[in-house]
Amino acid sequence: EAGVAQSPRYKIIEKRQSVAFWCNPISGHATLYWYQQILGQGPKLLIQFQNNGVVDDSQLPKDRFSAERLKGVDSTLKIQPAKLEDSAVYLCASSSNREVYRDRTLNTEAFFGQGTRLTVV
Amino acid sequence: AQSVTQLDSHVSVSEGTPVLLRCNYSSSYSPSLFWYVQHPNKGLQLLLKYTSAATLVKGINGFEAEFKKSETSFHLTKPSAHMSDAAEYFCVVSGGQAGTALIFGKGTTLSVSS
């Protein structure tokens, strides 16, 4: 089974420029997440999709960040304009959410891509 | 709302001694809980998960964790540390119901000395 694919692996841009990241989740996974991981910290959820609809984007800085998941498969995350504090690793993850226990469909584990390391100078 | 607290930012052990990484959670629902490991310059890998079945969960590489609802804890243990266990470990909670987000703790750095 192929894993979660992300590109590019590394990106260096100047502040105020724009950048886009791409993610291809595991085939058949309905849930897709974008996380931001600043050096030395745990991943912070930016946005969660269920198929092509947004479930949670409460921590997405909407004045500069945007994300879409067309046709419920691939996703792109964009930053425009970038700030110095956006330097981080951007992680994409996907989940099938198909484990059932006592008539409840449970939140199963997420599978993570290698991430995109963004440096804003 | 869900949250998770990893009680130690850094744990140091000697090779061959037991490992204990502590995690407490808060959840409005019956939670799903996970431990992930992140080696330097590598992706996040699932160690083990709890999703409402057995409270003692066994994972890869000899790790296990016990879900204790009364203590709202999900501590990670291993009887004997190996040098290759040195990494960053994250405790993760979700609301348990499909579609709720996975919320990460701040991480615990495990160092293993020979």
- pLDDT, tens digit (0-9, with 9 covering 90-100), for B53-103: 788 999 999 999 999 999 999 999 999 999 999 999 999 998 756 567 889
**A25 in contact with B, Cβ within 8 Å:** no
Question: What band does A98 get if pLDDT is binned at 50, 70 and 90?
Answer: low
Chain B residues within 8 A of A95 when measuring between CB atoms: 102
Q: How far is CA A21 from CA A18, A39, A48, A59, A96, in A?
A: 11, 18, 15, 18, 22
- The one-character DSSP state at A67 is E
Chain A residues within 8 A of B97 when measuring between CB atoms: 104-107
Residue A44, number of CB atoms within 10 A of its CB? 15
Residues paired with residue B48 on neighbouring β-strands, in sequence order: B35
Closest Cβ opposite residue A109 in set B43, B46, B101? B46
> Which chain B residue has the Cα nearest residue A49?
B99
- Is the CA virtual torsion B111, B85, B37, A85 positive or negative? positive
What the block records as the tokens of A106 is: 């449970």
Distance CA A117, CA B97 (A): 31
Q: Given the structure tokens 């009887």, which residue do they identify?
A: B79
- pLDDT, tens digit (0-9, with 9 covering 90-100), for A20-60: 999 999 998 988 999 999 998 999 999 999 888 898 899 99
**A102 in contact with B, Cβ within 8 Å:** yes
Taking alpha carbons only, the member of B42, B43, B44 closest to residue B34 is B44
> Which chain B residue has the Cα nearest residue A97?
B98
Chain B residues within 8 A of A41 when measuring between CB atoms: 106-107
Q: Which of A105-114, B43-52, B102-111 has the lowest mean pLDDT?
A: A105-114
